Each structure stands twice: as structure tokens, then as C-alpha cells.
Structure 1
């Protein structure tokens, strides 16, 4: 993986963590569409960090459970790799299989590692010149 992709992944991880901390501003009333839109609006990710992915089911509930990762490469050429977790010695996902590497709609299957516990871990995709990240929550 190139240094540019690693830098983009690190930036996405930080952004995902910060966006998770952002809530509706004090005094905002629930049910007002314009307030909800303003509270949830985020700037477009920078070039190199535009791949989008989702993990289903999320949260996971059983060790060894199969998950499906879907998304798009956000202008990238094709899905090249999927990484899960931060520590290679204790991966979050195992048996990662790219079913379809189509940049407009990729599909990946994987299983939750048998040694994983409760928590949150990142799932990254590398689409060559674009990268993406999401968080996987585990309740085992």
C-alpha cells in the first residue's frame, strides 16, 4: 500500500472518530429537517479519501460471524484490498474474500475473528488512488 493511501486512511480514521463525537447543537429541536441537515452536514472528503463502505451486520454479535462489506470506490479504479483492525497480529476480520471488485459497487465477505471481544475497530478499503474507512462495532 502506498504512503499516500496510508496517509488518507489515517486521516479518515481521525475524521470518523471526530464525526462520531459531533452531536446536534444545544437547543436544536428534534424533527426540524433543516437543523438536522445542518448538524449532520460534513465537507466532502479530500481526493484520495472518497471510497465509501458499509459493513452488515453492524454491530456484530458472534465470533466467527460472516459480515458483508459493500460500497463504492468514489472515483477509484477498482477495489484492491480490505484491511480490518489496526494490529496485524490480532486482526478484526479473517478470511476476507473480494466477491466483486467493481468500483461502482464492490462486495466483500469476511468472518469476525474468533479472538475478538467487545469494542470498535476500523475497516479500511484500498481502491488504488482512493481509500475509505468505517467502524465495525462488536458485541460478543
Structure 2
């Protein structure tokens, strides 16, 4: 990737991790089925439900959905085997959804960060990525402004 900047490479890596998580989620959802005429479902084995290595961090944003520009949100989660929270990105570097991101707790078992919604956002859905030093995670943030 000659000619790309480090933030762009990081964003591309996080986007790849988001794609892996989405593909895994679709695979997990597709693995649960119900026989016709019954209400009991069958699920896949627990090993198949584990996200791929490199995409095992979990992340939540609260409140979600959000309602106001400039509203403060809390980002929490678990690094899923990573070394600890290194960075948080909301949206993309060219179109950030989150501003003033502050990491309050960066432990590998539990992390917490605070941020405010960008003033220029509108109604929609955008990704929130976390880099946990070897593991990445993503969730969707819904805005209703």
C-alpha cells in the first residue's frame, strides 16, 4: 500500500475487521434454523460462533440511538484477547461522527471512552471502530438529529 497514510491503512484494517465480523454474524444467524412444525431451533457449535482472530473485540455505544448533535456518548467493551484499547474511530477520518474522543480506561478486559457527536452529522447509521492492540471491534451508531 505505497502512498497511503497510516490513518488510511488503519481505517482499511478496521473496515476489513468489520467485514469479518459482519460475515461471521451472518454465518451465525444462518446457522440457527427451526424445523418446520416446531418452535425449537438448532444452533451451530460454540467454536463456529467465535469471531476470527483479529476481530474479537466487542464494543457498545450508549446512548444508541442518539438524538442531538454534540451529545456525549460512552464507548465500552472488551478487547477479546487484545492488549488494551489503543484508539476509537467513529465514521471515517474524512467524515468523523465522533469528536473529542477521550480514553478513560484502556484495560484488555474492560475499556471505556467518551466522545461527543460531531456538529455536522445528520440522521443515519455509522460505524464505531476500536483498535485493541491485535484485536479490532466495530458496532453501528444510529443518529436521529
TM-score past 0.5 threshold: yes
**TM-aligned CA deviation for residue 63 of structure 1:** 0.4
Distance 2:105 2:36 in 1: 42
The alpha-carbon distance between structure 1 residues 2 and 101, as it changes in their structure 2 partners (threshold 3 A), is: same
The alpha-carbon distance between structure 1 residues 98 and 28, as it changes in their structure 2 partners (threshold 3 A), is: farther
Asked if 1:84 is matched to 2:90, the reply is yes
- Give 4+ residue runs of structure 1 displaced > 3 Å after superposition: 1-8, 15-20, 22-29
**TM-aligned CA deviation for residue 4 of structure 1:** 9.0
* Counterpart in the other structure of 1:131: 136
The answer to whether the 8 A contact 2:20-2:55 is kept is no
User: Is the partner of 1:133 in helix, strand or coil?
Assistant: strand
User: Is the partner of 1:68 in helix, strand or coil?
Assistant: strand
- 89, 98, 108: which is aligned to 1:93? 98
* Counterpart in the other structure of 1:12: 17
The answer to whether the 8 A contact 1:96-1:110 is kept is yes
User: Is the partner of 2:15 in helix, strand or coil?
Assistant: helix
- 1:68-83 aligned within 5 A: 68-83=74-89
Distance 1:27 1:64 in 2: 48
* Counterpart in the other structure of 1:120: 125
- 98, 104, 121: which is aligned to 2:109? 104
Larger radius of gyration: 2
Q: Deviations over 1:60-114 (max 9, x none)?
A: 010000000000100111111001102x232000000000111111010000001
Task: Give the aligned length.
Answer: 135
User: Is the partner of 2:17 in helix, strand or coil?
Assistant: helix
* Counterpart in the other structure of 1:65: 71
